[in-house]
Amino acid sequence: MAFESDFILDINDLPLSHFYTYKYEIIEYFMLPNSDEWLRKLVSKARTEHDIPEITKICTKGRFYTCKRYYEMYDPHHDKEFIMDALKVLPVDIKNHALLKDIPQFSLNLYSQLFLKKYDERVFEKILLCTKWHDIYERFNSNSKYQVFCEKIKKELDRYPGCADYLGCLFLRELPFIDYFKNIENNWYYDLRVAYAESDLNRAILMQFNPDFFPFLKGIKMKREAEEKKRRRLLGESLQIDNIKLPDVPKTLRIQSKYLDYLPEASKKAVDPQNEEEDTIYHDRIRKFKDGKINILISTDVSQNDIDISTLDCFISYNCPITYTKYIGNFKTTDGYPKNMALIVTEGLLELDDQKLFEKDRMTNCIVRRLRKMSDYEFQSLIEERKKSNDIRNKNYVEVMKEYCNKNENAVYDISCSSCMTYLCSSKDVGIFENITNIIVTPDIWSKVTYVIDKHYKYTRAFMRVGLVCCKVCKKNNGVDDIDENNTLGTIIKLGQGFVIKLAPKNLFFTDTVTKEQHYKRGWNAVETNLSLGNEISEDDFLEYCQESMCRDPEMHLLFMKKMSNYISVCRNSVYHKDI
C-alpha cells in the first residue's frame, strides 16, 4: 500500500504544479527586481473604474506586495516560459532543490504518488491549497522521528513572515528529501496519510488522492491490536506459577460498603466518591445556616491577630484599607482561606491611593473581558484607531507647544463669561490634576454657575462626565431654559473623590490682570486651551477642595451620585472578588 501505481515523475520534465511550492522564491528573485514591469502589467489589466482604487491600494503597500498580488490574481505560474525564466535567476541551491537533483530515489517514488491523476487531475494543487497545514505540522512535530525536520521548517518560516500559505509550500517540497525510511510501513508518505486521516479538517482531502487508504489503515490497526493481545497472553502465561494454591471462595459475600465505616475520610471518598451526594451537602449547609453554625466575619477597619479566619465559611472586608492591599489584613490563618471572600468598597471612603488601586483593578478587568470577546478583525480595527488617535494627538501637541511657548508663563488671567462678562475665577484656580486639564479647584465657582445633569452620559478611561454648567447671571437675565453644548462654560466630571468643573474655553474671556489684554474666539484654540495649563494641582489642594465643595453644596453631590448609580451599579457599592 505504499504505492498506488508504478508512476514516477520524470526529473527532466517535471509538472508545472510541482513549482507552485516555490512561489515566494520566484517572487523575491525573479519578479521583485523587475517590479515596475509587473506594476505596469497590473495597471494595464484594469478594465473598469472600480479596479483603479484597488490597484492604488496595492501599490501603496510596497514592491513585494505588488508582485505577490499580481502572482495571485493572474496566475503567471501556469505559463511554462514564466517558470523557466524564473529558474534561471534562482540561487543555485534553490534551483537544484526545485529540479529534484539531490532527491533520494526511494523518495522520488513516494513523491510521485502526490501527482497521480487517477482520482483528480489537479490533486497536487488541491493538496497544497486546501490542507490545514498547521494541523499537519503539529502532528508531525509530536512524532520524535520528525523533530529535526520540523525544526528546519520552523526556521525557514522566518524568511517570509505573514505569508500563511508558505508553511504548506515548505512542507511539500521538503518531505521528499527525507531519506532515512526504507520500508512500506515506515516512510514519510505513510505518516502523511495517517496525519490526514486523524484530522477531521483534512480527512476529506485524503479522499481526493487516496480513498482506499482508510480500509488499509483499519486493517493495520486490527493487526496491531491482535499482536498486542497475543503479546499480553504470552506474557501472562510466562508469569503464571503452576503450583500456586488459590484461596477458597468464602461462603458469604463480602460487601465493600461494610468496611467504609473503618476508613478515614479521604479513603472513603477514594473508594466511594458518591458517598456524599450533592443533595446531602446542600441540606447540610441549610441546616447549619438555620442552626447558626455558619461563621461569617465582616471586617471594617479592625484586623485582630488573635482571630483564625481559616475556621470561617465567609470573610467580608467592608471599606477596610488594610485588607484591600493585603488579603486577610492582620488576621491569622492556620488551614488555608475561607471558601468565600469578598471586598466591598463604598465610593469616597477609601484613601486616595487605595481608591486608585481599586479603580485600576476594576478597569483592567473590564478591558481584559472586552479584548477576550473581540474577533481578530475587531482587535485590528481597535489598534488602527488607537494609532490614528495617537498621531492626531501628537500633531496637535506640537502645534499647541508652538503657541504655548510664546506666551508669558507668569501671567495671571481673570476668567469671565463671554456673554455677560461676569467674573468666574482666576487662572490660579485652574490647573492640571491626574493629567486632566482645565480643572477649577475653588469652591466659590459653584455660587456663580448653575448646573444640570448631562443628557449625553459619558464614561471615559480617565474621568466620568455627569453634568454641564452655564453662567448663573446669563441664565437668569436671558431666560436660558436648556443648557447644551453651545452655551456651556464647561462639564462636570467625577474625578477622584469629588465633582469638579472642566472648563470649555470657547465661551470664556481671558483677561491679563497686568496688560489687560483679552483672548477670546468661539471654538477651540491652542492658546486659549493652554492659558490655564501652568498650574499643577497637588493632592492636598484637591482634597481640600473636595471637602469644602461638599460642605458648600451637598445637594449637588447627592444629585450626581444618584446619576452615577443609575448607569453603573458598582459606583456606590463596588464588590471586587479576590481569588486566593
The pLDDT value given to residue 570: 41
What is the pLDDT averaged over residues 24-51? 78
**pLDDT digit string (tens) for 366-404?**
666 777 777 878 878 888 888 888 788 777 767 666 655
Q: How far is CA 475 from CA 132, 419, 460, 483, in A?
A: 69, 11, 29, 9
Q: Residue 406 pLDDT > 80, yes or no?
A: no
Find out whether 502 and 469 touch, Cβ atoms under 8 Å. Answer: no
Structural contact between residues 297 and 316, judged by C-beta atoms closer than 8 angstroms: yes
Kindly state the average pLDDT of the residues 314-341: 72
Read off the pLDDT of each residue in 94-115 and give the average, rounded to a whole number: 80
Beta-bridged to residue 464, according to DSSP, are 459, 494
Look at residues 122, 134, 129, 127 and name the one whose alpha carbon lies nearest to residue 189.
Answer: 127
**Three-state DSSP string of 389-401:** HHHHHHHHHHHHH
The amino acid sitting at 348 is G
Please tell me the CATH superfamily of domain 410-569, with its number. RIG-I-like receptor, C-terminal regulatory domain (2.170.150.30)
Residue with cell 449625553: 456
Q: What string of DSSP letters covers 415-446? A: EEETTT--EEEEGGGEEEETTEEEEE--GGGG
Statement: residue 71 has pLDDT above 70: yes
Give pLDDT tens digits for 475-490: 887 766 677 777 788 8
Tell whether the model's pLDDT for residue 179 goes beyond 70. yes
Residue 90 φ/ψ, nearest 5 degrees: -70, 150
Half-sphere exposure in the Cβ direction for 474 (13 Å, CA):
24
> Is the distance from CB of 153 to CB of 174 less than 8 angstroms?
yes
Q: What is the dihedral angle through the alpha carbons of 406, 410, 412, 418, rounded to the nearest 10 degrees?
A: 10
Whole-number Å distance between alpha carbons of 317 and 574: 12
Report the C-alpha gap between 331 and 315 in whole angstroms.
11
Place of cell 465657582: 445
Confidence category of residue 226, pLDDT binned at 50, 70, 90:
confident
Residue keyed to cell 491679563: 512
Instruction: List the one residue out of 258, 117, 108 whose CA is nearest residue 177.
Output: 108
406: helix, strand or coil: coil
Q: Helix, strand or coil for residue 578?
A: coil
Q: Which of 400, 442, 408 is nearest to 513 (CA)?
A: 408
**Averaged confidence pLDDT in the chain:** 73
Q: Could you tell me if 471 and 422 are in contact, meaning their C-beta atoms sit under 8 angstroms apart?
A: yes
The pLDDT of 460-487, averaged and rounded, is: 75
| Residues 36, 395: Cα–Cα separation, whole Å | 34
Give the start-to-end residue ranges of the domains of the chain.
11-209, 287-346, 410-569
Q: Give the model confidence (pLDDT) of 284-324 as tens digits.
A: 766 665 566 677 777 766 555 567 777 777 877 776 666 65
Report the alpha-carbon distance of residue 8 to residue 512 in Å, rounded: 93
For the segment 96-116, the average pLDDT, to the nearest whole number, is 79
Report pLDDT for 566.
62
Q: Is 410 helix (H, G, I), strand (E, B) or coil?
A: coil
Task: Specify the pairing of strand 423-426 against strand 464-471.
Answer: unpaired
Supply 459's cell numbers: 464614561
Total residue count of the chain as it appears in this document: 580
Please state, in angstroms and rounded to a whole number, the distance separating the CA atoms of residues 225 and 231. 10
Q: What is the DSSP string of 97-126?
A: HHTTTT--HHHHHHHHGGG--SS-TTHHHH
Question: Is residue 569 predicted with pLDDT exceeding 50?
Answer: no
Smallest Cα–Cα separation from 317: which of 306, 333, 331, 305? 331
- Beta strands 518-519 and 340-346, pairing class: unpaired
DSSP string, 511-557: EETTT--EE--SS--HHHHHTT-S-B--HHHHHHHHHHHHHH-HHHH
pLDDT of residue 1: 39
